[in-house]
């Protein structure tokens, strides 16, 4: 009885929370119980399951919160079957209470067979109730997954986080494989939206392992999730690891799986990242080989951008050719601007900026500072070095403090210092940047376009007579030569 009293005490305490927002009269009217009974429930009388179920169905009280105290008291997403779920929850508590009240020491007495029978019946009832609860919760969980997906598609992160809290409670009551698989994906998208790619990547890893444990073989969506996980890893500046993840996923494919559009897309991305690691000839060949089999949406949204970028650096097209290649996208316009910044091409950067600002390009929502570095360099190239440095200093206050982001800021700053003719400051900052680069984990990549600016800048500072150690200039020259040999013909003029 002590255990049962504790359950009722907990229920009564949560009823008091409900009564803080609803009067006893309102609760009586909406639940169909008399006012005197509601008062008794609030002061100590045991609550019947029908009253608890009515709190759920009529007042929107969360059944998980009512029974466990976890989550929010109210949920706008409770379906019409809440009464059944609430009743089942209570019955589970009662069944487990019966189990815990049995004294296992009595098994040594002559009544042990009776006790064992009661224990078996209690456990059997508990399992049956769990099955019923899972059936009841599936409909609600499915609706929550639809609502979560819609909120994320509409970039409504606040609503998505609110739904996530309720869905986390319902997930404990539902063992449906498909819905839990979706839930991992939605959680990862929320973490991405909050700016936590590491957390998102870990959730993607769990989603993939969860699928393999349940099905034992790859499905198309599993490869899609592997690819998204790899892109998450690459976005954390671990490009080599991202490529290894994608290649591992591809190695699991066989037979007709090799013909999936997702397989071609993953192969294309491996080519893209291979190019970013210096092997542009090999990467571009892989991209061109797999491009025709990529699905039309990914081809337009992503692959055309990466192809245009690779052809710019390889010298196959110029800025105008890149603008005309394929469709129009904010991503492609941004990459063209980046290319012109690396090459310090003023006419090209002016044209690329004009293209980015044209009505044909729809900026990415919530990424207003996406082209700030390019616009800062543009000002410097237009003989507005002081203004560019001042703006870039202010922009620094908005950046994250993590190592790679700070290195990116420093490299752009040293580039603007050079363009503005402040060679002494540029050389000092470039040497400090090199020290920080040397201290980075070898698995971390700051990105080709930042490395290119940095090493080109070091050679320029040395050419201006600044004291750059020979071993540093040798490393810079070797980096540029390796990339030229790998297909970056645009860099050839730096060594002339």
What tens digit of pLDDT does each residue of 253-305 get? 888 889 998 999 999 999 999 999 999 999 999 999 999 999 999 999 899 99
More confident residue, 450 or 4: 450
Distance (Å, whole) CA 239 – CA 446:
9
pLDDT of residue 193: 74
CATH number at residue 211: 1.25.40.10
Yes or no: say if 148 and 160 are a contact pair by the CB < 8 Å rule: yes
What tens digit of pLDDT does each residue of 60-73 get? 787 777 777 766 67
The number of residues making up the chain comes to: 496
Same domain, 190 and 87: no
Average pLDDT over residues 422-438: 94
Same domain, 188 and 287: yes
Yes or no: say if 169 and 72 are a contact pair by the CB < 8 Å rule: no
Question: Nearest-CA neighbor of 85 among 146, 12, 173, 179?
Answer: 173
pLDDT of residue 215: 63
Same domain, 131 and 207: no
In this structure, is residue 389 part of a structural domain?
no
Percentage, residues of the chain above pLDDT 70: 83
Cα 180 to Cα 198, 205, 210, 218, 329: the distances in Å are 20, 14, 9, 17, 34
Band of residue 352 on the pLDDT scale cut at 50, 70, 90: very high
Same domain, 114 and 190: no
Distance (Å, whole) CA 82 – CA 181:
24
Band of residue 17 on the pLDDT scale cut at 50, 70, 90: confident
In this structure, is residue 152 part of a structural domain?
no
Same domain, 15 and 119: yes
Structural domain boundaries, residue 422: 399-495
Same domain, 123 and 8: yes
More confident residue, 448 or 211: 448
Residue 322 has pLDDT above 90, yes or no: yes
Same domain, 99 and 199: no
In this structure, is residue 221 part of a structural domain?
yes
**409: CB partners within 8 A, 6+ apart:** 392, 395, 396, 399
Average pLDDT over residues 335-350: 96
Average pLDDT over residues 311-321: 96
Using the 3D structure, point to which of 246, 272, 294 is the last residue of a domain: 294
Same domain, 22 and 114: yes
Same domain, 73 and 187: no
What tens digit of pLDDT does each residue of 75-127 get? 544 444 444 444 444 454 454 455 445 444 444 455 555 555 655 665 566 56
Using the 3D structure, point to which of 294, 327, 359 is the last residue of a domain: 294
Distance (Å, whole) CA 221 – CA 346:
44
Same domain, 117 and 221: no
In this structure, is residue 22 part of a structural domain?
yes
The segment with the largest mean pLDDT, out of 42-51, 221-230, 480-489, is 480-489
Same domain, 209 and 286: yes
Residue 484 has pLDDT above 90, yes or no: yes
Domain count, the chain: 3
Question: What's the 3-state SS for the chain?
Answer: CHHHHHHHHHHHHHHHHHHCCCCHHHHHHHHCCCHHHHHHHHHCCCCCHHHHHHHHHHHCECHHHHHHCCCCCECCCCCCCHHHHHHHHHHHHHHHHHHHHCCHHHHHCCCHHHHHHHHHHHHHHHHHHHHHHHHHHHHHHHHHHHHHHHHHHCCCHHHHHHHHHHHHHHHCCCCCHHHHHHHHHHHHHHHHHCCCHHHHHHHHHHHHHHHHHHHCCCCHHHHHHHHHHHHHHHHCCCHHHHHHHHHHHHHCCCHHHHHCHHHHHHHHHHHHHHHHCCCHHHHHHHHHHHHHHCCHHHHHHHHHHHHHHHHHHHCCCCHHHHHHCCCCCHHHHHHHHHHHHHHCCHHHHHHHHHHHCCCCCCCCCCCHHHHHHHHHHHHHHCCCHHHHHHHHHHHHCCCCCCHHHHHHHHHHHHHHHHHCCCHHHHHHHHHHHHHHHHHCCCCCCCCHHHHHHHHHHHHHHHHCCCCCCHHHHHHHHHHHHHHHHHCCHHHHHHHC
Band of residue 180 on the pLDDT scale cut at 50, 70, 90: confident
What tens digit of pLDDT does each residue of 355-389 get? 999 999 988 765 667 789 999 999 999 999 899 99
Average pLDDT over residues 137-150: 81
Distance (Å, whole) CA 456 – CA 480:
8
Using the 3D structure, point to which of 244, 267, 294 is the last residue of a domain: 294
Distance (Å, whole) CA 144 – CA 152:
12
Sign of CA dihedral 322, 323, 327, 332: positive
In this structure, is residue 326 part of a structural domain?
no
Average pLDDT over residues 116-139: 62
Same domain, 101 and 19: yes
In this structure, is residue 379 part of a structural domain?
no
In this structure, is residue 260 part of a structural domain?
yes
What tens digit of pLDDT does each residue of 238-265 get? 899 889 889 988 988 888 889 998 999 9
In this structure, is residue 167 part of a structural domain?
no
pLDDT of residue 83: 43
């Amino acid at each position: 009885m002590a255990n049962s009293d504790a359950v009722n005490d907990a229920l009564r305490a949560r009823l008091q929370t409900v009564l803080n927002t609803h009067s006893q009269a309102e609760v009586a009217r909406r639940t169909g119980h008399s006012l005197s009974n509601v008062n008794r429930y609030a002061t100590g009388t045991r609550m019947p399951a029908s009253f608890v179920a009515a709190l759920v169905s009529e007042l929107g009280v969360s059944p998980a919160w009512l029974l466990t105290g976890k989550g929010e008291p109210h949920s706008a997403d409770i379906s019409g079957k809440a009464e059944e779920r609430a009743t089942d929850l209570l019955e589970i508590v009662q069944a487990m209470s019966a189990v815990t009240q049995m004294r296992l020491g009595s098994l040594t007495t002559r009544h042990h067979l009776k006790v064992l029978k009661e224990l078996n019946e209690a456990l059997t009832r508990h399992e049956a109730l769990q099955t019923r609860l899972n059936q009841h919760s599936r409909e609600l969980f499915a609706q929550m997954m639809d609502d979560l997906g819609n909120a994320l598609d509409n970039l409504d992160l606040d609503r998505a986080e609110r739904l996530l809290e309720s869905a986390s409670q319902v997930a404990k009551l539902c063992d449906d494989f498909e819905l839990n698989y979706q839930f991992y994906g939605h959680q990862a998208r929320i973490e991405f939206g909050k700016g936590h790619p590491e957390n998102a990547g870990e959730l993607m890893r769990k989603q993939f392992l969860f699928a393999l444990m349940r099905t034992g073989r790859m499905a198309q969506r599993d490869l899609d999730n592997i690819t998204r996980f790899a892109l998450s890893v690459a976005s954390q500046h671990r490009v080599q690891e991202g490529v290894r993840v994608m290649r591992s996923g591809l190695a699991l494919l066989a037979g007709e799986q090799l013909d999936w559009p997702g397989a071609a897309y993953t192969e294309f991305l491996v080519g893209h990242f291979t190019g970013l690691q210096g092997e542009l000839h090999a990467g571009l060949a892989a991209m061109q080989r797999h491009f025709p089999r990529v699905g039309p949406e990914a081809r337009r949204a992503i692959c055309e951008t990466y192809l245009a970028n690779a052809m710019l650096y390889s010298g196959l097209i110029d800025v105008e050719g890149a603008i005309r290649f394929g469709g129009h996208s904010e991503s492609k316009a941004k990459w063209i601007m980046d290319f012109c910044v690396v090459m310090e091409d003023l006419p090209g950067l002016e044209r690329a900026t004009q293209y980015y600002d044209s009505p044909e390009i729809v900026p990415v929502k919530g990424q207003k500072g996406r082209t700030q570095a390019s616009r800062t360099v543009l000002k410097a190239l237009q003989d507005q070095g002081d203004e560019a440095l001042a703006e870039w200093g202010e922009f620094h206050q908005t950046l994250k403090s993590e190592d790679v982001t700070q290195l990116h800021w420093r490299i752009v700053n040293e580039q603007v210092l050079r363009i503005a003719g402040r060679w002494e400051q540029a050389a000092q900052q470039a040497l400090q940047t090199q020290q920080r680069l040397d201290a980075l984990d070898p698995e971390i990549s700051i990105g080709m376009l930042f490395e290119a600016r940095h090493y080109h800048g070091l050679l320029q500072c040395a050419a201006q007579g600044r004291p750059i150690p020979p071993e540093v200039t040798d490393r810079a020259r070797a980096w540029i030569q390796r990339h030229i040999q790998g297909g970056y013909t645009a860099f050839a003029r730096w060594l002339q």
